Amino acid sequence: MKRTLGTCYYPEHWPEEIWAEDARRMAELGLTWVRIGEFAWSRLEPSPGDLHFDWLDRAITTLTDAGLKVVLGTPTATPPRWMLTKHPDMLAVDAQGHPRKFGSRRHYCFSHDRYREESVRITRLLAERFGTRVAAWQTDNEYGCHDTTISYSKSAEHAFRDWLAQKYQSPDALNRAWGNVFWSMDYASFDDIDLPNLTVTEPNPAHVLNFRRFTSDQVARFNQAQVDAIRAHSDAPISHNYMGRVTEFDHFDVGRQMEIATWDSYPLGFLEDRVGASAEDQRHYARQGDPDFQAFHHDLYRAVGQDGRWWVMEQQPGPVNWAPSNPAPLPGMVRFWTWEAFAHGAECVAYFRWRQAPFAQEQYHAGLLRPDSAEAEAFVEAAQVSDEIKQMPDVEQVQAPVALVFDYASQWAWATQPQGTGCDYFQLVFDVYKGLRQIGLSVDIIPPDTATLDGYALVLAPGVITLTDAFKSAISNTDAQVILGPRTNAKTAALSIPVPLPPAIENLDVTVSRVETLRPDSPEPFADGGHYKLWREQIETTEEIVETDADGRPLMARAHHLSYLAAWPEAEALRRILTRAAIAAGLDPQDLPKDIRIRDTGTTRFTFNHGPEPVEFHGQTIPPAGVLWT
Ligand code: GAL
């Protein structure tokens, strides 16, 4: 399959006279796809039931006449003002009990049934009218962005009680599972159970974790309703555009409902507040973005899409407007990010947005065109990629040698009971991912219920708090090197400590007898060099000990292909541990320079220089923003 390019376009923002010229320029640039419609509800239905679809019809005609394929977004992330008059209780409510008001976007609660019905109604109307004319769909826009998944509304409270009643059947069963005897928290009726906010001190972690699971199910339910409405009238593939480091709903659950996963990649926007990078790295990568954060999400969303189908739906094209500071990318980075996505298997990279908007919230957000319609810097780089795609053979995707589990429920469990500042599951998994990339390995991210590990040489499942039965049997049936821990299989599904004590893995005699957390500024040494940080377990084991602390106490134990790591290693120690495991797995780890990353596909090895300076690598000079393919 040939890689394609696209852009995000808002015909409702521009005079109709310029649509045809815009479409012509998009096609001339070599774009295949154009996404439209996702915020247009107030212009599609200015008042309840008053449908104005003709302009969208003409826009679709104009774009398709120019040879472009249209992705139509459902407009449900931006319910118009009249919707609030009609449903005054539709707003999401924050943890302090304040409604999240109209005046920007995403101001709805996923549990509000009548809003969900409105969202299905507008989706059905669009699908009836345009179902055979568009080439793909996008549901809503960025579920969870702006912290909009969790809502403490009355609608959520009612729905949560129903959800609990279905799950536990009786208050007694719930009380037992949650341990409500502790602090006299027993419930006599499901109707007595509130949402877990505004409690005097910490609520029962089982209560919080169940609320998080419920919240995730509400997102999946909301999405499924739109998917059903589309499928009744259209055969075109359906997608949703996910975000970077949004973990409040299970993307694998939502992803199973649709053909394609897409995500919105803003490498510079993310660097300061989502990556967890040191201040020094934030300066070093200020105009390039973190070398692993985009790749991590490319690999994650490849696993979320069906049969590995995924896109970048929004690619940063220049400075954005919403990060703490908003530098311009290094010249060449827009091209670089596009090739990086293709190297990880993206079918399409679409640039956000076609033309910079001189009004409203995102005035300083670059586009492919400036507000005066002249070409912006990214236009020229997109044109270069478009030429390169024509000349280059296609990038064939293959299974990577390494698998890394990512589990949304573990993120919620760690967040519910972190046991110390900085103890964050995403960061742990991301550290391991970074470590694997620093030794030159290509990685597949896999869901926690993966049942077979065939084809992998090395598998890691750090921090997966409750292992699924499917994954437990997968690790006992594989010859791959497997590293578990820290905190793997540490809790029951109701977030209690199981007895026998964790990790309770067949053929691995390791018992975690105590856990402790460390101050973020106080890492402690491994005997063989480097440090561990934040999370540390005391283990009892009869297995071979492969890492210890400075006093000789075990920090990693191994039985055949299975290893358990009892601490969270910092970069240097992690590199040693991963290098040794990679060698045992028959792989060929490298010691890459700081700014270099490699991605292997079936046809091509891509080498990327993420640094601001040229790097000498294997006898070649790779310039800043440089991409080599061999
Ligand atoms: C995304 C969003 C777009 C636009 C963009 C700006 O998160 O989906 O609508 O706001 O950010 O960078």
Instruction: Find tokens 């590995």 and name the residue.
Output: 308
Is 351 close to ligand 1, i.e. is its CB under 6 Å away? Answer: no
In the prediction, which pLDDT does 394 show?
85
Residues 6+ apart with CB under 8 A from 193: 160, 161, 164, 174, 187, 207
Q: Which member of 45, 314, 381, 537 is catalytic?
A: 314
pLDDT in tens, 552-561: 999 999 999 9
CA of 350 to the centre of ligand 1 (A): 12
Q: Give dist(CA 601, CA 563) in Å, integer.
A: 28
Please check the confidence at residue 1 and state whether its pLDDT lies above 90.
Answer: no
Q: Which helix (H) or strand (E) holds 462?
A: none
- Dihedral angle sign, alpha carbons of residues 554, 559, 563, 564: negative
Measured N-to-C along each axis, helices 425-438 and 293-304 cross at an angle, to the nearest 10 degrees, of 110
CA–CA distance, 301 with 262 (Å, rounded to integer): 7
For the segment 50-72, the average pLDDT, to the nearest whole number, is 98
Q: Does residue 429 surpass a pLDDT of 80?
A: yes
Residue in 8, 13, 314, 316 to alter for ligand 1 test, most ligand atoms within 8 A of Cβ: 314
Instruction: Identify the pLDDT of residue 496.
Output: 97
State CA 354 to chain mean position distance: 24
Looking at the CA of residue 39, tell me the nearest atom of ligand 1: 9
pTM of the model as a whole = 0.98
pLDDT of residue 565 exceeding 80: yes
Q: How far is the CA of 36 from the centre of ligand 1 (A)?
A: 13
Mutate to test the pocket of ligand 1, among 78, 245, 264 (most ligand atoms within 8 A of CB): 264
Ligand 1 in reach of 595 Cβ (< 6 A): no
Residues in the chain: 630
Q: At what angle do helices 113-130 and 205-231 cross, to 10 degrees?
A: 30
User: Could you give the 3-state DSSP secondary structure of residue 87?
Assistant: coil
| C-beta atoms surrounding 225 within 10 Å | 16
**Widest pairwise Cα distance in the chain:** 77
Amino acid identity of 384? Q
Cα 86 to Cα 605: distance, rounded to the nearest angstrom: 56
3-state secondary structure of 159: helix
Going by alpha carbons, the residue nearest to atom 12 of ligand 1 is 320
The CA distance from 616 to 623, in Å, is: 9
Q: Which of 142, 248, 347, 377 is catalytic?
A: 142
List helix spans (H) across 346-403. Answer: 377-391
Q: How many CB atoms lie within 10 A of CB 120?
A: 18
Nearest to 109 by CA among 78, 146, 148, 79: 148
Would you call 5 helix, strand, or coil by DSSP? strand
- Chain segment 138-152, per-residue pLDDT in tens: 999 999 999 999 999
Q: Which of 78, 351, 352 to mutate for ligand 1's pocket (most ligand atoms within 8 Å of CB)? A: 352
- Is the shortest distance between the CB of 365 and ligand 1 below 6 Å? yes
What does the mean pLDDT of the chain come to? 98
> CA torsion sign, 391 to 592 to 625 to 347?
positive
> By CB neighbour count within 10 A (0-12 exposed, 13-18 middle, 19+ buried), where does 465 fall?
buried
Nearest CA to ligand 1 atom 5: 352
Residue 159 Cα to ligand 1 middle (Å)? 30
pLDDT tens-digit readout, 289-322 = 999 999 999 999 999 999 999 999 999 999 999 9
**d(CA 262, ligand 1 centre) in Å:** 13
Q: pLDDT band for position 577 (50/70/90)?
A: very high
Query: What average pLDDT does this structure show over 252-261?
Result: 98
CA of 474 to the centre of ligand 1 (A): 39
Task: Using the mean position of ligand 1's atoms as its centre, give its distance from the Cα of residue 465 in Å.
Answer: 32
Q: What's the pLDDT tens digit per position in 173-199? A: 999 999 999 999 999 999 999 999 999
How many angstroms is it from 315 CA to the middle of ligand 1? 10
Q: Which residue blocks in 509-584 are alpha helix, DSSP H?
A: 571-584
Whether residue 121 contacts residue 226, with contact meaning beta carbons closer than 8 Å, is answered with no
Ligand 1 site, residue 340, Cβ cutoff 6 A: no
State which ligand 1 atom lies nearest to the alpha carbon of 241: 8
Give the pair of three-digit tokens for residue 441.
């390995």
Q: For residue 157, is pLDDT > 90?
A: yes
584: which 2 tokens? 């045992």
State which ligand 1 atom lies nearest to the alpha carbon of 322. Answer: 12
DSSP state of 455: T
Burial (CB < 10 A; 0-12, 13-18, 19+), residue 424, is: middle
| Nearest-angstrom CA–CA distance, 376 and 356 | 9
Residue-wise pLDDT tens digits, 205-236: 999 999 999 999 999 999 999 999 999 999 99
Look at the alpha carbons of 518, 522, 527, 531 in this order and tell me if their dihedral is positive or negative.
positive
Distance, in Å, from the CA atom of 59 to the CA atom of 63, rounded to the nearest integer, reads: 6
pLDDT for 393 beyond 90: no
Told to judge if 142 belongs to the known catalytic residues of this protein, a careful annotator would answer yes
Question: Any alpha helices (H) in 285-424, and if so which ranges?
Answer: 293-304, 333-343, 377-391, 408-416
From ligand 1's centre to the CA of 224, what distance in Å? Answer: 23
> Residue 261: what pLDDT?
98
* Closest among 378, 365, 336 to 607, alpha carbons compared: 336
Token code pair at residue 29: 């640039």
Q: Which residues contact 201 (CB under 8 A, 6 or more apart)?
A: none
Asked whether 352 lines ligand 1 (CB < 6 A), one says yes
Q: Is 608 within 8 Å of 596 (Cβ atoms)?
A: yes
Is the CB of residue 508 below 6 angstroms from any atom belonging to ligand 1?
Answer: no
Q: On the CB side of 598, how many CA atoms lie within 13 Å of its CA?
A: 20
Q: Is the CB of 38 under 6 A from ligand 1?
A: no
* Cα–Cα distance list, 449 to 246, 368, 598 (Å): 20, 41, 28
**Which pair of structure tokens corresponds to residue 241?**
């555009």
Among 362, 363, 368, which is best to mutate for testing ligand 1, by the most ligand atoms less than 8 A from CB? Answer: 362
What residues form DSSP beta bridges with 482?
459, 562
Does the C-beta of 143 come closer than 6 Å to ligand 1? no
Q: What is the pLDDT of residue 2?
A: 80
Read off the pLDDT of each residue in 489-504 and give the average, rounded to a whole number.
Answer: 97
H-state helical runs in 196-271: 205-231, 251-255, 267-271
